[in-house]
Amino acid sequence: MKPRHGSLVALLLFTIASLLVFSVAVSSQTVNQEVAKNPMHPAAPEQPIPYSHKKHLALGLECQICHGGPDPGSQMTFPPTTACMTCHASVATNKPAIRKLTEFAKSGQPIPWVRVYKVLPGVNWTHRKHLEAGVHCETCHGEVAQMDRMSEVTSVITMYVCLDCHQKSKANTTCEACHSWPRAEDAR
């Protein structure tokens, strides 16, 4: 016997509601104001060119100088090679990594950086709204200024961490704040 569409929708909505109630109950017990560390400790991905945020931020660079947030702002961009060459046309030109950077610049090809944090499917998320709300990059990405290699040091892509932060900052915690699913027409 085939289950009815309505039964599946009801089961799905019950499951989502249960998870939400559980996450709210768990997050209400949290007293830590920091974003949770990532318990899995994933290794930093291998990048095409070694890049140290620690070294560059120590020079006074700010996140938005290299990472722009184009519409809709869900992912920050990587800097164009020409931006890197603003300094590296004359700084550290004898280093192998800068020679490789120069090759990318001459070819007109973007550097194929490997994204560290990825927004999960089904989540409507934007850096723009968070930056406009005054959230600092370090809040979600950890102490980037201390990292020689960028890695996923926080659990920022988990629902629990997002809800916890939204509750503490009195931001919207409804499902629709981050998810466009299930849509009203799916519930019929």
Q: How confident is the model at residue 71 (pLDDT cuts 50, 70, 90)?
A: low
pLDDT digits (tens, 9 = 90+) for 124-152: 888 888 888 898 888 888 898 999 999 88
Higher pLDDT, 44 or 5: 44
What is the Cα–Cα distance from 185 to 177, expressed in whole angstroms? 18
Q: Percent of the chain scored above 90 by pLDDT?
A: 31
Which whole-number Å values give the CA distances from 34 to 31, 55, 115, 125, 150, in the listed order?
Answer: 9, 24, 23, 20, 19
Residue 2: the pLDDT is: 52
Helices (H), the chain: 5-27, 53-58, 63-66, 81-88, 96-107, 127-132, 137-141, 159-168
Average pLDDT, the chain: 79
pLDDT digits (tens, 9 = 90+) for 88-112: 999 999 999 999 999 999 999 899 9
- Is residue 54 over pLDDT 70? yes
What is the CA 15 to chain-centroid distance, rounded? Answer: 26
Q: Establish whether the linkage from the previous residue to 182 is cis, with ω within 30° of 0.
A: yes
Q: What pTM was computed for the model?
A: 0.67
| Mean pLDDT, rounded, for 26-31 | 39
Q: Which residues contact 188 (CB under 8 A, 6 or more apart)?
A: 9
| Mean pLDDT, rounded, for 36-47 | 77
